[in-house]
């Protein structure tokens, strides 16, 4: 079978790497891919959001399965478009993808299904939003409802900050129509974790847990980023928490989606806060996490095409997924300045030396090939991922690998996985 992976970041490199190991797959394409993906797949010069061109490519190349990595094409209806033409594609249809595409929709669904989440209110009008922020008082969280590349969330410790956030989203409209409505919600306290599950519309298969590091600098300081590193498993996610997440969150989503006539098929990513009252949902994503996918897939022993196909065909209940008992840690090497302004085009060296250490895979997130030289081409550049007998060993090996890799102004956190080690 020929497989097409849509996207071009670290998550997609991990997906390509894992899918390429499947005996069911004889050729793999990635659109648009990156320089690292190009070493393991045929990269295709089509943007991840150019749905028409992707459908045409699938037709011309007899693609047997397409896997969409990022949220934007899913929210824009790539699954509906492929299915309409009779092509197999993994992911939720547009209506179900609104769980990520509209935080307002997502919160309403959670409320109607009794899913634990922060108390909230939705506003379409600026002054009403400001009045409410004043009435409930800080701390509170202001969220642009639509897609904002992970930047639309403001955790505000004063009402003034909340008013500034509401102005930025609704008046200055820095996220465009994604700011047509805002969600204002209670600030939850606790530790965050990510739970990803395969879903086929009926059955659910929960993957091993992971934890992202969203802030730019050590000690969870600095601005929010797309994710500076991740590890798996997350010891805070005990067996009891996993069962609670399945019972109180995943099963009710599957039920509510079916009730609303849009069965949920694909990956459901629950970003949770583990509070003293148990796990509560911070957000849903409708796809694999980036960078959580890198350490989670390093630990997946089963051929990933089996559960993916089972979700597409609706027989996930027959599938088991086996995991490596070892731990995995992914350290993101970013361009200096990220998530603010940064430069691209810096030569990258040392990846082979890093991988030669063993138990290391360097996933490319933002890289390009400049006439035979590997250069940086994005904010997050590499996801240096290692496995080890313990989380400490995996962390040590990941940082040993990071030390081998060089590009000008490289920035990375030095404390990835420390929360797990502290436990
Ligand atoms: P989201 O994109 O909704 O996951 O939000 C991004 C980040 O904002 C999360 O990873 C949390 O760190 C934080 N956050 C979101 N919602 C809340 C909340 N209700 N309480 C506290 N922190 C939150
Ligand atoms: N790691 C956070 C995300 O994928 O949205």
Evaluate if residue 423 carries a pLDDT over 90.
Answer: no
* Alpha-carbon span 279 to 135, nearest angstrom: 27
Q: What is the pLDDT of residues 235-260, one digit of tens each?
A: 999 999 999 999 999 999 999 999 98
The answer to the question of residue 113 being in a domain is: no
* Alpha-carbon span 252 to 247, nearest angstrom: 7
Evaluate if residue 150 carries a pLDDT over 80.
Answer: no
Mean pLDDT (whole number) for 98-123: 95
Q: How many helices (H) and strands (E) does the chain have?
A: 15, 23
Q: Which atom of ligand 1 is nearest to the CA of 214?
A: 10
Residues 195 and 301 in one domain: yes
Q: Nearest 5°: phi and psi at 166?
A: -65, -40
Name the residue with the closest Cα to ligand 2, atom 4: 289
State whether the beta carbon of 224 lies less than 6 angstroms from ligand 2.
no
State whether the beta carbon of 212 lies less than 6 angstroms from ligand 2.
yes
CA of 286 to the centre of ligand 2 (A): 10
Cβ pair 93, 79 in contact under 8 A? yes
Beta bridge mates, 215: 224
The answer to the question of residue 204 being in a domain is: yes
Cβ pair 329, 394 in contact under 8 A? yes
Strands 140-144 and 221-224: unpaired
Residues 14 and 85 in one domain: yes
The answer to the question of residue 110 being in a domain is: no
State whether the beta carbon of 71 lies less than 6 angstroms from ligand 2.
no
Residues 358 and 254 in one domain: no
Q: What is the pLDDT of residues 77-93, one digit of tens each?
A: 999 999 999 999 999 99
Give the domain extent around 134: 125-180
pLDDT category, 151, cuts 50, 70, 90? confident
Cα atoms in the 13 Å half-sphere on the side-chain side of 253: 33
Domain end residue (candidates: 255, 285, 318): 318
Residues 260 and 374 in one domain: no
State whether the beta carbon of 292 lies less than 6 angstroms from ligand 2.
yes
Beta bridge mates, 140: 156, 186
Q: Is the peptide bond before 7 cis (omega within 30 degrees of 0)?
A: no
* Alpha-carbon span 382 to 339, nearest angstrom: 14
Residues 281 and 197 in one domain: yes
How many residues comprise the chain? 423
Q: What is the pLDDT of residues 42-52, one digit of tens each?
A: 999 999 999 99
State whether the beta carbon of 9 lies less than 6 angstroms from ligand 2.
no
Q: What is the pLDDT of residues 275-303, one digit of tens each?
A: 999 999 999 999 999 999 999 999 999 99
The answer to the question of residue 50 being in a domain is: yes
Write the DSSP assignment of 252-290 as a string of letters: HHHHHHHHTT---EEEEEEEEEEETTEEEEEEEESS--T
User: Which residue in 222, 7, 259, 232 sits closest to 108, CA to CA?
Assistant: 259
Mean pLDDT (whole number) for 11-33: 98
* pLDDT at residue 100, rounded to an integer: 96
Burial 41-76 (b: 16+ CB within 10 A, else e): bebbebebebbeebbebbeeeebbbbbbbbbbbbbb
Residues 197 and 311 in one domain: yes
3-state secondary structure 57-115: HHHHCCCCEEEECCHHHHHCCHHHHHHHCCCCEECCCHHHHHHHHCHHHHHHHHHHHCC
Structure tokens at 67: 């896997």
Pocket test for ligand 1, best of 282, 283, 286, 339 (most atoms within 8 A of CB): 282
The answer to the question of residue 112 being in a domain is: no
Evaluate if residue 417 carries a pLDDT over 90.
Answer: yes
CATH of the domain at 263: 3.30.470.20
* Alpha-carbon span 326 to 312, nearest angstrom: 29
The answer to the question of residue 100 being in a domain is: no
Dmax (CA) of the chain:
60
* Alpha-carbon span 109 to 94, nearest angstrom: 15
Q: Which ligand is nearest to the CA of 193?
A: 1
pLDDT: is 8 or 148 the higher one?
Answer: 8
Structure tokens at 227: 């994710």
* Alpha-carbon span 116 to 244, nearest angstrom: 10
CA of 78 to the centre of ligand 1 (A): 27
The answer to the question of residue 87 being in a domain is: yes
Q: Which atom of ligand 2 is nearest to the CA of 285?
A: 5
Domain end residue (candidates: 291, 318, 345): 318
In the chain, what is the straight-line distance between the N-terminal and C-terminal CA atoms, in Å? 44
Cβ pair 282, 271 in contact under 8 A? yes
Mean pLDDT, all residues of the chain? 96
User: What's the predicted TM-score (pTM) here?
Assistant: 0.96
Residues 199 and 138 in one domain: no
Pocket test for ligand 1, best of 115, 153, 279, 285 (most atoms within 8 A of CB): 153
Residues 196 and 283 in one domain: yes
Residue 397 belongs to what H/E stretch?
Answer: helix 391-404
State whether the beta carbon of 289 lies less than 6 angstroms from ligand 2.
yes
Q: Which ligand is nearest to the CA of 10?
A: 2
Strands 89-90 and 65-68: parallel
Specify the number of domains making up the chain.
4
CATH of the domain at 160: 3.30.1490.20
SS3 of residue 127 by DSSP: helix
Residues 197 and 313 in one domain: yes
CA of 219 to the centre of ligand 1 (A): 17
SS3 of residue 390 by DSSP: coil
Structure tokens at 272: 């949770």
State whether the beta carbon of 290 lies less than 6 angstroms from ligand 2.
yes
CATH of the domain at 16: 3.40.50.20
* pLDDT at residue 392, rounded to an integer: 97
Domain end residue (candidates: 318, 337, 365): 318
Sign, CA dihedral 316-322-325-327, equals negative
Q: What is the pLDDT of residues 311-365, one digit of tens each?
A: 999 999 999 999 999 999 999 999 999 999 999 999 999 999 999 999 999 999 9
The answer to the question of residue 114 being in a domain is: no
* Alpha-carbon span 308 to 297, nearest angstrom: 13
Evaluate if residue 39 carries a pLDDT over 80.
Answer: yes
* pLDDT at residue 58, rounded to an integer: 98
Q: Which ligand is nearest to the CA of 146?
A: 1
Name the residue with the closest Cα to ligand 1, atom 1: 283
Q: Which atom of ligand 1 is nearest to the CA of 117?
A: 19
Q: What is the pLDDT of residues 367-382, one digit of tens each?
A: 999 999 999 999 999 9
Evaluate if residue 209 carries a pLDDT over 80.
Answer: yes
User: Which residue in 14, 13, 1, 5 sits closest to 299, CA to CA?
Assistant: 14
* Alpha-carbon span 12 to 364, nearest angstrom: 9
CA of 130 to the centre of ligand 1 (A): 20
> Cβ < 6 Å from ligand 1: which residues?
118, 141, 150, 153, 155, 185-188, 192, 214, 271, 282-283
Residues 376 and 305 in one domain: no
State whether the beta carbon of 283 lies less than 6 angstroms from ligand 2.
no
* Alpha-carbon span 192 to 322, nearest angstrom: 25
Residues 9 and 77 in one domain: yes
Residues 224 and 306 in one domain: yes
CA of 235 to the centre of ligand 2 (A): 19
* pLDDT at residue 364, rounded to an integer: 98
* pLDDT at residue 327, rounded to an integer: 98
Structure tokens at 7: 């996207």
């Amino acid at each position: 079978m020929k497989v097409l992976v849509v996207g071009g970041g670290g998550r997609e490199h991990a997906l390509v790497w894992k899918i390429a190991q499947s005996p069911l797959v004889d050729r793999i394409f990635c659109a648009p891919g990156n320089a690292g993906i190009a070493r393991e797949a045929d990269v295709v010069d089509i943007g991840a959001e150019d749905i028409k061109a992707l459908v045409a490519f699938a037709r011309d190349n007899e693609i047997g399965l397409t896997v969409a990595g990022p949220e934007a094409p899913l929210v824009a209806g790539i699954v509906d478009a492929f299915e309409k033409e009779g092509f197999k594609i993994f992911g939720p249809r547009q209506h179900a993808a609104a769980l990520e595409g509209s935080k307002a929709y997502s919160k309403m669904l959670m409320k109607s299904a009794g899913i634990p989440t922060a108390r909230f209110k939705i506003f379409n009008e600026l002054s009403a939003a400001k009045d409410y922020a004043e009435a409930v008082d800080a701390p509170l969280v202001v969220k642009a409802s639509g897609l904002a590349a992970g930047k639309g969330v403001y955790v505000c410790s004063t009402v003034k900050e909340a008013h500034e956030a509401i102005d930025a989203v609704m008046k200055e409209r820095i996220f465009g129509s994604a700011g047509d409505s805002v969600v204002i919600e209670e600030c939850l306290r606790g530790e965050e974790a990510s739970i990803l599950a395969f879903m086929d519309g009926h059955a659910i298969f929960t993957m091993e847990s992971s934890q992202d590091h969203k802030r730019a600098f050590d000690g969870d300081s600095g601005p929010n980023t797309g994710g500076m590193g991740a590890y798996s498993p997350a010891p805070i996610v005990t067996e009891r928490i996993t069962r609670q997440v399945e019972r109180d969150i995943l099963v009710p989503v599957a039920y509510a989606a079916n009730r609303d006539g849009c069965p949920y098929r694909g990956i459901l990513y629950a970003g949770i806060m583990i509070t003293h009252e148990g796990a509560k949902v911070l957000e849903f994503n409708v796809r694999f996490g980036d960078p959580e996918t890198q350490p989670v897939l390093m630990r997946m022993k089963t051929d990933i095409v089996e559960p993916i196909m089972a979700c597409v065909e609706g027989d996930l209940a027959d599938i088991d997924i086996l995991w490596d008992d070892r731990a995995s840690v992914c350290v993101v090497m970013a361009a200096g300045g990220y998530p603010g302004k940064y430069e691209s085009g810096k030569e990258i060296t040392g990846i082979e030396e890093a991988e030669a250490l063993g138990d290391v895979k360097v996933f490319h997130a933002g890289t390009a090939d400049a006439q035979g030289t590997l250069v940086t081409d994005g904010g997050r550049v590499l996801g240096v991922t290692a496995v080890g007998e313990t989380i400490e060993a995996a962390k040590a090996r990941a940082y040993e690998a990071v030390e081998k890799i060089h590009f000008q102004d490289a920035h990375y956190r030095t404390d990835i996985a420390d929360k797990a080690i502290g436990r």
